[in-house]
Amino acid sequence: MPETAIGILGGTFDPVHSAHLALAETARQRFALDRVLWIPAGQPRHRDAPRATASDRLAMVEIAIANRPGFELDASEARSDAPSYTVPTLLRLRERFGATKPLVLLAGADAFLGLPSWHRWREIFSLAHLAVATRPGYVLDAAVMAPELAAEFLQRQHGSLAAAAGAIMPFTLVAGTVSATEARTMIKAGRDPGDWLPPGILDYIRTHHLYGT
């Protein structure tokens, strides 16, 4: 019987918001994942420095995923002073789970289209599958991808979780679009972002005076 897969959701989570939860839960059900590891970045290299400290971002993720079956916080990256890169993270997880355990890296379509700019990006496919969340009615099209990414996509889109790594698997995310930038802007302006944030997150932000509160 094939091993169940483990999902991996990395990000700054600055702050964690409802779209993160929707992506993780949809992927967990769609691919029958054993669990989803949430891995907040410490020193991300693909975006600006986080507004909140690593300890605050860890605390917010912990609040967001509390009492949600199948979600687990991995604090290793956030507690490290080393830059956060995907390939070293996957190598660390391979040491933890072994060579045969299917690992599934979760990403949105925009992040996937930018994959060729990632550090050592081609090595990702030897370490994990890549599950790409798309919005309803949107189809990943090789014609809009960088040529090197299109070649990988055309080769790998028919792979399966029977292997430990190597497939690219699009899936539809039926959820509203939320960005951390929009959430921070609303919070700073004194507006309530409502269901954009998981329960307890806005209280934490206000209590700890994050994002200009």
DSSP 3-state assignment of 59?
A: helix
The band of 46, judged by pLDDT with boundaries at 50, 70 and 90, is low
Domain span including residue 85:
6-176
The band of 128, judged by pLDDT with boundaries at 50, 70 and 90, is very high
Lowest mean pLDDT among 45-49, 73-77, 102-106: 45-49
Measured CA to CA, the distance from residue 113 to residue 115 in angstroms comes to 6
**Residue 122 within any structural domain of the chain:** yes
**Residue 100 within any structural domain of the chain:** yes
**Residue 16 within any structural domain of the chain:** yes
Q: Are 88 and 123 within 8 A, CB to CB?
A: no
Measured CA to CA, the distance from residue 179 to residue 211 in angstroms comes to 14
Measured CA to CA, the distance from residue 131 to residue 8 in angstroms comes to 10
Model pTM above 0.85: yes
Tell me which of 85 and 46 has the higher pLDDT.
85
The tally of domains found in the chain comes to 1
**pLDDT value of position 178:** 77
**Residue 197 within any structural domain of the chain:** no
Q: What is the CATH number of the domain that holds 159?
A: 3.40.50.620
- Virtual CA dihedral for 85, 87, 90, 94, nearest 10 degrees? -140
Measured CA to CA, the distance from residue 9 to residue 11 in angstroms comes to 7
**Residue 121 within any structural domain of the chain:** yes
**Residue 202 within any structural domain of the chain:** no
Task: Tell me the pLDDT tens digit for each residue of 156-186.
Answer: 998 899 999 999 999 999 876 778 888 888 8
